[in-house]
Structure 1
């Protein structure tokens, strides 16, 4: 699938006027309701030096690649609303997810509107961020109609960028992994420095563990009960730029022990970095989201929720059910569906979902999973025969190209005789045959 081309109405700008640095991030969106909003937020950064360090770390992530896909510039996504600003992005290979949560105390200004856009971090912008010093005053505006970017040394006009479908698919998957994570380690500043002092030397790319021994965390090639697996440990070097300014680092691990995330506490903001199971595996291809896509959700429900909630607003399904008289079972299906198309993010520190207004049409998101498309085709062609069905078990025969596959689904697991299941054993999501059988029952 080709990238989605976006055309900004303006370019991001960084300029200096009357002794003040002014930063304006250009935005783009397909959603008509916000097309005419020139600005989502306008105000000052209360800690511009730390903010600039975090933005440069985000830029480093989105310009990197650790798999077969070559690195290329991809623009971060920004959500403004509910007194918070969030920046999100993926590495080009989609195996590293990064998010900066700017708390209300990190910004001093006015939220003119709520929304989510993809923003433009161009080279002149990054050069300007590199020059920001402590105690400087920087004004941030999200959205601007100016057609140029002007600094003291350069002038840049508008540019075209592309938004990779892998990013959209990654957003639909990564929050499911985050919601499945538990806190393993909490490191103060000294402990965090000590941990990275044990970082493996050279061009090490294999499997390592963060292990705790005698109250001290270190990188090790040996795992254990008190350890967290890091697939592709070299990816953690992306954090080196902010290590000197972190207050704490929280290490999270998924229940299956395959994925992990590090949350860096920076006072007025938090930077999260999540890592796929291995460097060659991207979040967009893991398929975990397929387990929640077995029921079709009417588009009017999605648009209804979109009109009720603001970007970054906490998503409380119980409260929504009570306030809007929605059946709890239906709300559970709605929550799963919203997660599966990327409209819900997950905050591992607060242990709750937040709503995200994506800057592209919902129909585009729903159509982006090939396994879902293939499962629907199997149903439409009547290639599925239910051989046995009880209260706890379903056995089905699914016609393939040259062979008929057997699917067995019970209360604890789902199995299939196809090559996909044989190779991955469910670790990269369910296969199209299992998905089709689930969708029929």
Structure 2
């Protein structure tokens, strides 16, 4: 797996720590660099108060951290390397805290939302940062009992610390595909719709009955009476599932669950994105699974259409300047404030999602503002198909002839034909993926030329 040449460096004034005293648990989550509503911050401070349902919250935080340390798929012949997990991301949206992580294989995304009813304290600021999840802190979290109040600080006032305070640095090389996956998963989530909702008892029976390993080929989960069952035949009301063990991160939370909801992407016989959501007490835990366990979100290519939409670039810049870490972005309100039609605002948000600057909450049915604490400019350089498409356009390699286009690529001329369900290309990429993993560079190049000529 290729990694970026630069390392993402997390700098903490101190490690995160969980201590027990006076009949309560005190959890300090050390923050790294990120963004707040006022701009970049070295060590933002987001929350100081009590996190309700302590045992549930501890289990959810541990589940998010475990996903970041797990590789659910190892390619054949690959020697498993020592896994250096990235730290989870936390976003304060003013009335809630969201903790996010991505698996090392890029095929599983996890998010724990501590909703307003679970927060008893002061949300001091809004923004996004990384938080330190070190082994001693995780071990202590596993010892939290149901009756212990959990006092939580996300960040601390570093001004009161001495100037020579020790700074803890964690240098973690983040693969480009990990960063791309964070952007891709938001695009995928915006396409899903509710499939089924089952009671907690049925969710426990189904998930605990799954084998720890199994076929990597997609199967489908369908309602069966009050419960769920697995079938090998896709149906429109089913949710695709590849790699049964990828649902196992939900297992430690099942004892707290009220219900399990599933959301399905548009029906695809080859498998599709599935979203699994546990409703907890004043909280939610979400898992998003890629169409196949061997396919990380980073290679899906769904963001390419949005990044290639040059017409939405200026709109995205305008919309991003109006965002203030809202828990749910009001498209109608943004439309009025920006003076843009709602469809233009939606396209702008989709482009921002492709750059990792907004997330998508399927339960809320809308985007939420968060800024990944990474260099956004790097995302634009991580898509070779888009780079190649732009080169094809700039070298005049695209020739339009009505609904057909011809693209000269090296010594070969590929034909792109417009049909009812999109463009088709004669290149090997399209022959292999049939558009299921985003457009090929030739289709992208033709789309760019057509838009410029309108």
TM-score > 0.5 by shorter chain: yes
Looking at structure 2, the residues matched to 360 and 95 of structure 1 have their Cα atoms a distance apart, in angstroms, of 20
Which stretch has the larger CA shift, 88-97 or 169-178? 169-178
Q: Secondary structure at the match of 2:390?
A: helix
The CA deviation at 1:37 is 5.4
* Residue 241 of structure 2 corresponds to residue 227 of structure 1: no
Which stretch has the larger CA shift, 325-334 or 44-53? 325-334
Query: Quick one: which of 306, 310, 316 aligns to 2:324?
Result: 310
The CA deviation at 1:76 is 1.0
Looking at structure 2, the residues matched to 7 and 49 of structure 1 have their Cα atoms a distance apart, in angstroms, of 28
* Residue 36 of structure 2 corresponds to residue 14 of structure 1: no
The CA deviation at 1:260 is 0.8
Q: Secondary structure at the match of 2:310?
A: coil
Query: Quick one: which of 349, 353, 358 aligns to 1:339?
Result: 353
The CA deviation at 1:86 is 0.4
Looking at structure 2, the residues matched to 345 and 9 of structure 1 have their Cα atoms a distance apart, in angstroms, of 25
Match of 1:151 in 2: none
The CA deviation at 1:415 is 0.8
The CA deviation at 1:203 is 4.7
Q: Secondary structure at the match of 1:235?
A: helix
Looking at structure 1, the residues matched to 335 and 57 of structure 2 have their Cα atoms a distance apart, in angstroms, of 37
Query: Quick one: which of 251, 257, 262 aligns to 1:246?
Result: 257
1:227-306 correspondence runs (5 A): 227-257=238-268, 258-296=272-310, 302=316, 304-306=318-320
Query: Quick one: which of 174, 182, 190 aligns to 1:171?
Result: 182
State the aligned residue count. Answer: 428
Query: Quick one: which of 25, 29, 42 aligns to 2:33?
Result: 29
Evaluate the alpha carbon distance shift between residue 330 and residue 268 of structure 1 in structure 2; reply closer, same or farther with a 3 A threshold: closer
TM-score by length of 1: 0.89
Q: Secondary structure at the match of 1:131?
A: coil
Evaluate the alpha carbon distance shift between residue 202 and residue 307 of structure 1 in structure 2; reply closer, same or farther with a 3 A threshold: closer
The CA deviation at 1:307 is 4.0
Looking at structure 2, the residues matched to 202 and 364 of structure 1 have their Cα atoms a distance apart, in angstroms, of 36
The CA deviation at 1:309 is 1.9
Match of 1:89 in 2: 101
TM-score by length of 2: 0.87
Structure 2, unmatched stretches of 5+, are: 160-165
Match of 1:99 in 2: 111
Q: Secondary structure at the match of 1:315?
A: coil
Looking at structure 1, the residues matched to 16 and 344 of structure 2 have their Cα atoms a distance apart, in angstroms, of 42
Q: Secondary structure at the match of 2:125?
A: coil
Looking at structure 2, the residues matched to 178 and 118 of structure 1 have their Cα atoms a distance apart, in angstroms, of 22
- 8 Å CA contact retained: 1:84, 1:312: no
Match of 1:150 in 2: none
- 8 Å CA contact retained: 2:91, 2:129: yes
The CA deviation at 1:364 is 2.3
- 8 Å CA contact retained: 1:211, 1:223: no
